[in-house]
Amino acid sequence: MQNKILKFILWNLIFLVIYKISVAHENHHHGKEERKDAKNQGLILGKVNNSYLNNIKTIFERKCINCHGGQTGYPWYYKFPFAKGLIDSDVAEAKKHLDFSKGFPFKGHGTPKEDLEAISKVVSEGTMPPFRYWVLHWDHRINEAERKAILKWTSESLNEFSKEQKK
């Protein structure tokens, strides 16, 4: 009798475990959703990168890459100790925030969306390049047409990310 009760309990436990495993996700296929999200994210990044390559990259190469890129072209006054320390610190800080040398998405501390928001903010406010840089490098300030192009690109790109979030 005791054997039958033990078998009954054991079979019920086995059945319960199998049942729980089989319906644990209630027919949700999380892997498929994650792959779809990753694919959509990849499509958005590709679209934003194409727009960047066609419309913005040349502006960033002329105006921003000196501090936010792989190869820094140092000015003649870089050899002075005070200037050298200040420039090295500024360039390291700039690259930590955004590094444009590898294209979009940029290397930095934010997500692609956060990077676009940051670029839009500094371009709108006119805070890049910093005053102490552009006072000696007038040719590195962005003009009105470049400013509009960058703001258009960031706005359209952020809209792409927003559309995806609404789905």
CA distances from residue 125 to 46, 122, 157 in whole angstroms, order as listed: 28, 5, 19
Q: How many CA atoms lie within 13 A of 54 on its CB side?
A: 8
| pLDDT (0 to 100) of residue 18 | 57
pTM (predicted TM-score): 0.72
Residues 164, 115, 37: CA angle, nearest 5 degrees: 25
| pLDDT (0 to 100) of residue 14 | 65
Domain ranges, ordered by start, for the chain: 51-167
How far apart CA 147 and CA 153 sit, in angstroms, is 10
| pLDDT (0 to 100) of residue 2 | 76
How far apart CA 52 and CA 153 sit, in angstroms, is 7
**Cβ contacts of 109 within 8 Å, gap of 6 or more:** 96, 97
Residues forming a β-bridge with 108: 98
Segment (H or E) for 99: strand 98-99
- Cβ–Cβ < 8 Å for 148, 120: no
Residue 22, classed as helix, strand or coil, is helix
| pLDDT (0 to 100) of residue 28 | 43
> pLDDT tens digits for the chain (167 residues)?
677 776 767 665 565 555 555 444 444 444 444 444 566 788 899 999 999 999 999 999 999 988 898 888 888 888 988 888 888 888 899 888 899 988 899 998 789 999 999 999 999 999 988 888 877 787 888 999 999 999 999 999 999 988 876 65
How far apart CA 13 and CA 63 sit, in angstroms, is 69
| pLDDT (0 to 100) of residue 112 | 93
How far apart CA 149 and CA 51 sit, in angstroms, is 11
